[in-house]
């Protein structure tokens, strides 16, 4: 995946966003002037980019109105990111050993594969009702865990299986034990694939956390924020929250990709 | 490559540090009570499991929680604000303009409200011959199986048909104080102040007509041609029992009004009813809390079309909400730093809780 667009590419990237924002502004303004009408869509009710920007700036930090606090978007981002990171770390700790075991040992593979194949097809959102009942707190982290763990397991398995067998044979010939082979050959070889799994998993986890926060009750989190703003009819803030979700997801993806390129030279 | 990495690192670090600093600020400054939105059933269940320290909700949920032994009544909403208005009967402006005899229909809707309230207030007495029937209606409408809870849920609700412009004005002022209005939308609305808005929202003409005709035989006042009214209400909300009584006892039918359940009804809360019902023109007349009416007639309105335009023709009830807490809580101050369920931002319970917190010098996060 190419992540460095170059100067020209970067200008085109930025230009496409500006054109999108202008088009969005224009369409909403024209809809509000009744210049056109799309049946079943209340386009005129969508806040314009300018209104969204004003709302974003205005709701960035904690505000106190009378006795009521409203958390700022930074608090919501922080809370959601914290949950994703916690869920991601747990998924990483559990997923990588399972993936290595399944990929390296036929017996472990046969033991775990049916369960993995069934459970990975249950979307994280399907776990939300159950997590409400079984977790007194931390249900959202569990949803992230479910979202992150399967991409990690599957990519780890793939990474382990695609290890060059000549490297394993060479290590054996040199007298390496099985645990040494796993530590010194299999894990380094599979690491780029594991990181890809983590990147994909965190993307899924980020989408899952927003959905989970809409349902699993917590006073802070981006999903909760956009739901609350919708309830109050504060649509500009709601759309601002949606855009923040997209931007953070994008930054997370690119960050891991860049880290991968920076530190794992052999898999780049 | 290196620069991009640095920029991204700085962005993420900035978000973390600012989020961390902001989050730490809140409890140190005031240790707020965390209001968390949930359904009434969830409130009861989570109070029972100890996940929340309390909730503020409309009846019957407080009565259900108390009769199950999950908690106790801490503050009745009448103690926060005596005789405060709560649910009302409202009509959709678009429907009003499109319908030739809308005034005649609304007069009769107000009359049904009056008759139903009189029936309920009489039948509430345990020695009334209608008491058992009222308890049945309450259990059916409130989704209850326990007659003790049904009886208890009626005790603190004052069923009314009048509307009160002065109290509505106070509500609007409080909503302004709590910065719930979208100020850009408020400016578009053209209302000079809370009183101006309240006067444009509430009309007493229909109730006046109903009072003048309250002893008439209903069939004599029937519309010449029966009409279908798409009606919406809130799920299991005992405050809106007069609607259910009027429907079940055939008062609407006697007056030539066929009640048709509006698409999406019953709604989970008043915000949904305003956004997905009145604004979407799928509701002609409905009952809901007055704050969602006040808030969404401003925040969700496209003022070039006034598509969230509604008018209030009658009251449904005053008071009737309760702060219920776990048995070990003795005052609202004990809720500091704890989680309390509420039906959602902009609901009457939200506004009442903020008022009580303000009175006690507490802060609330939501």
Q: What is the pLDDT of residues B221-271, one digit of tens each?
A: 999 999 999 999 999 999 999 999 999 999 999 999 999 999 999 998 899
Ramachandran region, residue B40 (left: φ > 0; alpha: ψ -120 to 50; beta: rest): alpha
Residues B139-181 pLDDT 10s: 999 999 999 999 999 999 999 999 999 999 999 999 998 889 9
CB atoms within 10 A of CB B125: 11
DSSP code per residue over A140-168: HHHHHHHHHHHHHHHHHHHHHHTS-HHHH
Average pLDDT over residues A194-205: 94
Task: Tell me which of A232, A235, A249, A268 to substitute to probe the interface with B (most B C-beta atoms closer than 10 Å).
Answer: A232
Q: Would you state the structure tokens that stand for residue B246, as one six-digit string?
A: 């009027």
CA–CA distance from A228 to each of A207, B102, B111, B160, B270 (Å)? 18, 35, 36, 31, 13
Of A51, A78, A227, the CB nearest to B16: A78
* pTM flag (> 0.90): no
3-state secondary structure of B177: helix
**Of B268, B288, B349, B327, whose CA–CA distance to B69 is shortest?**
B327
Of A75, A231, A258, the CB nearest to B19: A75
Cβ of B366 and A232 within 8 Å? no
Residues A56-108 pLDDT 10s: 999 999 888 888 888 899 999 999 999 999 999 999 999 999 999 999 999 99
Cα separation, B206 vs B91, whole angstroms: 12
b/e sequence B343-360, b meaning 16+ C-beta within 10 Å: bbbbbbbbbbbbbbbbee
> Would you call B7 exposed, middle or buried from its count of C-beta atoms within 10 A (0-12, 13-18, 19+)?
exposed
Cα separation, B116 vs B287, whole angstroms: 14
- DSSP code at position A186: I
- Cβ distance B213 to B246 under 8 Å? no
Cβ of A219 and B34 within 8 Å? yes
CA–CA distance from B188 to each of A50, B191, B200, B300 (Å)? 17, 8, 15, 12
Cα separation, B233 vs B213, whole angstroms: 26
Chain A interface includes B5 (CB < 8 A): yes
Mean pLDDT of chain B: 92
Residue with tokens 């009952």: B287
Which pLDDT belongs to residue B47?
95
3-state secondary structure of B148: helix
Residues A222-241 pLDDT 10s: 999 999 899 899 999 999 99
**Of B105, B56, B104, whose CA–CA distance to B77 is shortest?**
B56
């Amino acid at each position: 995946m190419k992540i460095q667009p170059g100067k020209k590419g970067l200008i085109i990237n930025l230009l496409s966003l500006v054109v999108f924002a202008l088009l969005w502004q224009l369409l909403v303004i024209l809809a509000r002037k009744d210049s056109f009408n799309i049946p079943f869509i209340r386009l005129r009710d969508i806040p314009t980019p300018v209104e969204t920007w004003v709302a974003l700036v205005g709701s960035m930090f904690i505000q106190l109105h009378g006795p009521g606090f409203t958390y700022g978007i930074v608090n919501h981002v922080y809370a959601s990111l914290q949950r994703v990171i916690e869920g991601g770390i747990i998924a990483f700790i559990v997923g990588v050993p399972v993936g290595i075991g399944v990929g390296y040992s036929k017996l472990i593979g046969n033991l775990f594969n049916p369960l993995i194949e069934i459970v990975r097809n249950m979307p994280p959102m399907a776990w939300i009702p159950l997590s409400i009942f079984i977790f007194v707190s931390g249900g959202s982290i569990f949803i992230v865990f479910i979202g992150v763990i399967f991409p990690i397991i599957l990519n780890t398995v793939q990474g382990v299986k695609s290890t060059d067998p000549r490297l394993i044979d060479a290590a054996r010939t040199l007298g390496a034990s099985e645990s040494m082979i796993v530590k010194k050959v299999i894990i380094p070889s599979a690491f780029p694939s594991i990181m890809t799994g983590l990147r994909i998993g965190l993307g899924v986890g980020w989408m899952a956390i927003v959905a989970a926060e809409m349902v699993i009750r917590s006073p802070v989190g981006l999903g909760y924020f956009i739901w609350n703003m919708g309830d109050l009819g504060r649509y500009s803030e709601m759309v601002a929250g949606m855009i923040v979700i997209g931007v953070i997801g994008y930054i997370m993806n690119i960050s891991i990709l860049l880290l991968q390129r920076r530190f794992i030279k052999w898999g780049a | 490559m290196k620069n991009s990495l640095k920029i991204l690192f700085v962005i993420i670090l900035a978000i973390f540090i600012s989020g961390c600093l902001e989050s730490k600020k809140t409890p140190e400054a005031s240790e707020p009570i965390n209001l968390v939105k949930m359904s009434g059933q969830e409130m009861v269940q989570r109070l029972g499991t100890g996940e929340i320290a309390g909730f503020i909700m409309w009846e019957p949920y407080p009565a259900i929680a108390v009769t199950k032994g999950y908690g106790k009544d801490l503050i009745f909403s009448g103690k926060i604000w005596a005789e405060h208005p709560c649910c009302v009967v409202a009509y959709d402006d678009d429907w009003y303009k499109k319908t030739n005899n809308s005034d005649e229909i609304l007069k009769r809707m107000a009359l049904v409200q009056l008759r139903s309230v009189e029936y309920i207030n009489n039948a509430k007495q345990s020695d009334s011959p209608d008491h058992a029937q009222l308890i049945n209606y309450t259990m059916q409408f409130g989704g209850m199986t326990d007659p003790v809870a049904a009886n208890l849920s009626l005790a603190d609700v004052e069923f009314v048909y009048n509307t009160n412009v002065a109290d509505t004005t106070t509500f609007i002022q409080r909503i302004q104080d709590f910065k719930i209005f979208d100020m850009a939308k408020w400016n578009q609305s053209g209302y000079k102040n809370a009183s101006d808005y309240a006067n444009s929202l509430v009309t007493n003409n229909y109730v006046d007509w109903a009072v003048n005709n309250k002893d008439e035989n209903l069939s004599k006042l029937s519309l010449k041609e029966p009409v279908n009214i798409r009606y919406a209400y809130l799920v299991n909300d005992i405050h809106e029992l007069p609607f259910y009584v009027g429907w079940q006892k055939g008062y609407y039918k006697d007056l030539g009004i066929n009640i048709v359940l509006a698409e999406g009804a019953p709604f989970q809360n008043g915000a949904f009813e305003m956004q997905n019902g009145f604004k979407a023109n799928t509701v002609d007349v409905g009952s809901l809390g007055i704050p969602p009416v006040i808030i969404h007639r401003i925040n969700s309105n496209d003022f070039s079309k006034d598509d969230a335009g509604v008018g209030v023709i009658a009251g449904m009830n005053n008071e009737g909400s309760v702060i219920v807490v776990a048995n070990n809580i003795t005052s609202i101050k004990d809720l500091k730093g704890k989680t309390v369920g509420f039906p959602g931002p902009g609901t009457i319970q939200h506004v009442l809780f903020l008022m009580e917190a303000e009175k006690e010098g507490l802060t609330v996060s939501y």
